[in-house]
Structure 1
Amino acid sequence: MTHPYSNLPAMAFWRAAVAETAAEAVSDIYRPKFPLPADATVATAGSCFAQHVGQALRRAGLDVLDAEPAPFGLAPDIARKHGFDLYSGRYGNIYTARQMVQLLDEIGAGIPDPAHVWTRKNRFHDAFRPGLDPQGLDSIEEVLAIRNRHLARVGAMLRQADVFVFTLGLTEAWRCRDTGRVYPSCPGVIAGEYDPARHEFVNFRYPEVMQDLAEMRARLQDLNPQMRFVLTVSPVPLAATATGGHVLPATQWSKAVLRAAAGDFADAHADVDYFPSYEIVTNPAAHGAFFAQGLRQVTARGVATAMGAFLSAHGLVTKDAPPEDALSDPDDVICEEALLEAFGK
């Protein structure tokens, strides 16, 4: 007897493709929807895991755009703490699709809002990039001037990008009740003051994420009609949840929503691809080896496996690669959300 499962390839069966295959040797997991030429200009943004994506693409020789390079002579570790060399713009971690849509709207308007400047110890912070100047700035005017320059440079950069790689990280966020703007961190964690009359918790559902992805794509293609997109989902678990429940199911719920939305959105658009970095890093065949101690940050081995699969599928190879233990130090990843762990008992 024959049936639809009779002649399927090995990759369709769990035992052959997962249980009996080393996690580093996973193959056929990603078949690109469109090619990524070696001369493509790439822009990256998203949650903490997207920092690894940009690093890997640069090592492969791709032209990863940088709208705001670090000042000459600034030590690399200091530069990263101030938001340089993390993404294609100094926008810090963009954890939600809603946050990205807001940034694009602000680029279109070109007018930063002084209502979203936070204070801490008489210093001033950009509420949408609170961790990028750890010591804060001297005045509200300085924050707004730097943000205005940031918006102009990021807008110019995005107009040049052939491909935009965006990593979805969270569904949970904190929102200003008056303006509807969401922040990358809860007011009061890094700077600012939490006020329940002004701030509210939001956990974006699947329809909202899908709508945000649609608006993100539309706004980016207004800047560059030829732009294509690669979506990924961060495998990094939530550091904490504000849902009132346990962090484990909250993490699984969040990642399920993001994974479903990213996959469905890619299926619906010929110019949007989905790369399964989430599936590669969380593969049971790795037996947890792709997560560092603490079970949140992805190890160098995990990053190398995920990004190796991406580059290999596109016919690209890493040039002058450093040893595996230098590929991706979890402690080098800049992540505001990780600060929440300090409040755990």
Structure 2
Amino acid sequence: MTHPYSDLPPNAFWRSGVAEETLTPEALYRPKFPLGPDAAIATAGSCFAQHIGRFLHTSGLNLLDVEPPLNDEAPGLARQYGYGIYSARYGNIYTTRQLLQLLEDAASGHVDGDLVWEHQGRFHDALRPAIEPEGFVSVEETLALRRAHLAAVDRLIGQATHLIFTLGLCECWADRQSGRVYPIAPGVIAGEYDAYRHHLLRLGYPDLMDDLIAIRAALHRRNPGLRMILTVSPVPLTATATGQHVLTATTEAKSLLRAVAGAFAEGLEDVDYFPAYEIVMNPAAKGAFFMPNLREVSQEGVDAVMTVFRHAHGIAVAETPDAPSRATPAEELLCEEVLIEALRR
């Protein structure tokens, strides 16, 4: 060997690994631990995580769902009410702070009576405002169902062997008085924005790392054997309130999330990182992995991500009449974020 690069494999070089080669699943991802037939999997995260959950559901693996709909005869309607999207009815969890907050509340059973938003005489759980599109009939109903939800999340963490969490955003809106963070700004779905009470919270690298450390600790207090698989959503921001151009803000956010996810997983045997972000953003795809709006991931992109995941874990996709093997198309994802653009003046 004349220098450290002499005997490296082709996938260590850009020309031979990307520009001149079709990216193979084996080269992109080697999991630290298996997802075998005994795995009990929970999913959570930003909108892109819905693709992962749908794929796992159709794969025949044990995807947990601790809050299923009472009537499964209308799955499309159930999805509109937050059922069957994730392993519990918590809706999209865009930030590490949001997930940490949920785990802490589930462990303590704490329900904050102030976190109920009103809209046209109906009431929304401020921490999952989109799960009931028309809102609940009363504050009491809202809080009672949140208590039941937290109990379900606690059961979920106790039952799961693996949690797949997709990191999506670094900026969120928070309450100055309580420190609570929301999945979306007050006033977009329900509630009222108060500039004196609500503020934009930008999570930096130390914040994200501290959150992940605390998330893992919270999970292990409830279930010491639980393993985590982290991914980063490739979906750009719909909008930013940072004052930056949305392209710059997106690049900053995804860079932070990718860096902290990789660094956190690197030194832990029970935490793995799956490169969904890299697969979609791969230059060799030449834009084919995005829809014409340059934000939603195309079906081809989703298939590329799930093919790598499936091959790495040896998962065979089951074909059944009511469970198609293809992931949910991007246009069917339920994302509160897109409402920001719809309400733009």
TM range, smaller chain: over 0.9
- Counterpart position of 1:5: 5
**What's the TM-score, normalizing by structure 2?**
0.96
- Counterpart position of 1:84: 83
Deviation at 1:111, TM superposition (A): 2.6
Q: 1:103 to 1:320 in 2, by over 3 A?
A: same
Deviations 1:102-148 (A, max 9, x none): 00111122131110000111110000111111101110000001111
- Whether the aligned pair in 2 keeps the contact of 1:106 and 1:151 (CA below 8 Å) is yes
Greater mean deviation of Cα atoms: 121-130 or 334-343: 334-343
- Whether the aligned pair in 2 keeps the contact of 1:299 and 1:328 (CA below 8 Å) is no
Deviations 1:161-209 (A, max 9, x none): 0001100000010000000010000000111000011100011000000
- Counterpart position of 1:292: 291
Structure 2 residues without counterparts, runs of 5 or longer = none
- Counterpart position of 1:33: 32
Once residues 21 and 250 of structure 2 are traced to their aligned partners in structure 1, the CA distance between those partners, rounded to angstroms, is 27
Secondary structure, in 3 states, of the residue corresponding to 1:159?
Answer: helix
- Whether the aligned pair in 1 keeps the contact of 2:72 and 2:78 (CA below 8 Å) is no
Identical positions, percent: 53
- Counterpart position of 1:106: 105
Deviation at 1:21, TM superposition (A): 2.6
Quick check: 1:335 aligned with 2:340? no
Secondary structure, in 3 states, of the residue corresponding to 2:27?
Answer: coil
Residues matched between the structures, number:
343
Deviation at 1:26, TM superposition (A): 5.2
Deviation at 1:158, TM superposition (A): 1.2
User: How does 1:1-345 map onto structure 2 within 5 Å?
Assistant: 2-22=2-22, 25=24, 27-320=26-319, 327-344=327-344
- Whether the aligned pair in 2 keeps the contact of 1:22 and 1:286 (CA below 8 Å) is no
Once residues 323 and 120 of structure 1 are traced to their aligned partners in structure 2, the CA distance between those partners, rounded to angstroms, is 37
- Whether the aligned pair in 1 keeps the contact of 2:45 and 2:165 (CA below 8 Å) is yes
Deviation at 1:329, TM superposition (A): 1.3
Once residues 338 and 3 of structure 2 are traced to their aligned partners in structure 1, the CA distance between those partners, rounded to angstroms, is 49
Greater mean deviation of Cα atoms: 237-246 or 309-318: 309-318
Q: 1:35 to 1:8 in 2, by over 3 A?
A: same
Once residues 195 and 300 of structure 1 are traced to their aligned partners in structure 2, the CA distance between those partners, rounded to angstroms, is 39
Once residues 180 and 99 of structure 2 are traced to their aligned partners in structure 1, the CA distance between those partners, rounded to angstroms, is 11
- Whether the aligned pair in 1 keeps the contact of 2:115 and 2:127 (CA below 8 Å) is yes
Q: 1:344 to 1:250 in 2, by over 3 A?
A: same
Deviation at 1:343, TM superposition (A): 3.7
User: Which amino acid is the alignment partner of residue 106 of structure 1?
Assistant: D
- Whether the aligned pair in 2 keeps the contact of 1:17 and 1:26 (CA below 8 Å) is no
User: Which amino acid is the alignment partner of residue 132 of structure 1?
Assistant: I
Once residues 99 and 74 of structure 1 are traced to their aligned partners in structure 2, the CA distance between those partners, rounded to angstroms, is 32
Greater mean deviation of Cα atoms: 182-191 or 66-75: 66-75
User: Which amino acid is the alignment partner of residue 13 of structure 2?
Assistant: F
Deviation at 1:294, TM superposition (A): 1.1
- Whether the aligned pair in 2 keeps the contact of 1:41 and 1:162 (CA below 8 Å) is yes
User: Which amino acid is the alignment partner of residue 200 of structure 1?
Assistant: H
- Whether the aligned pair in 2 keeps the contact of 1:38 and 1:316 (CA below 8 Å) is no
Secondary structure, in 3 states, of the residue corresponding to 1:28?
Answer: helix
Once residues 250 and 189 of structure 2 are traced to their aligned partners in structure 1, the CA distance between those partners, rounded to angstroms, is 22
Taking only aligned residues, the RMSD between alpha carbons, in angstroms, comes to: 1.5
Deviation at 1:73, TM superposition (A): 4.0
Once residues 69 and 95 of structure 2 are traced to their aligned partners in structure 1, the CA distance between those partners, rounded to angstroms, is 25
Q: 1:323 to 1:40 in 2, by over 3 A?
A: closer
Deviation at 1:323, TM superposition (A): 7.0
User: Which amino acid is the alignment partner of residue 341 of structure 2?
Assistant: E
Deviation at 1:307, TM superposition (A): 1.2
- Whether the aligned pair in 1 keeps the contact of 2:25 and 2:307 (CA below 8 Å) is no
Once residues 188 and 323 of structure 1 are traced to their aligned partners in structure 2, the CA distance between those partners, rounded to angstroms, is 37
Greater mean deviation of Cα atoms: 86-95 or 305-314: 305-314
Once residues 137 and 179 of structure 1 are traced to their aligned partners in structure 2, the CA distance between those partners, rounded to angstroms, is 23
Once residues 210 and 146 of structure 1 are traced to their aligned partners in structure 2, the CA distance between those partners, rounded to angstroms, is 31
Deviation at 1:74, TM superposition (A): 4.5
Secondary structure, in 3 states, of the residue corresponding to 2:50?
Answer: helix
Once residues 224 and 194 of structure 1 are traced to their aligned partners in structure 2, the CA distance between those partners, rounded to angstroms, is 38
Greater mean deviation of Cα atoms: 31-40 or 171-180: 31-40
User: Which amino acid is the alignment partner of residue 340 of structure 2?
Assistant: L
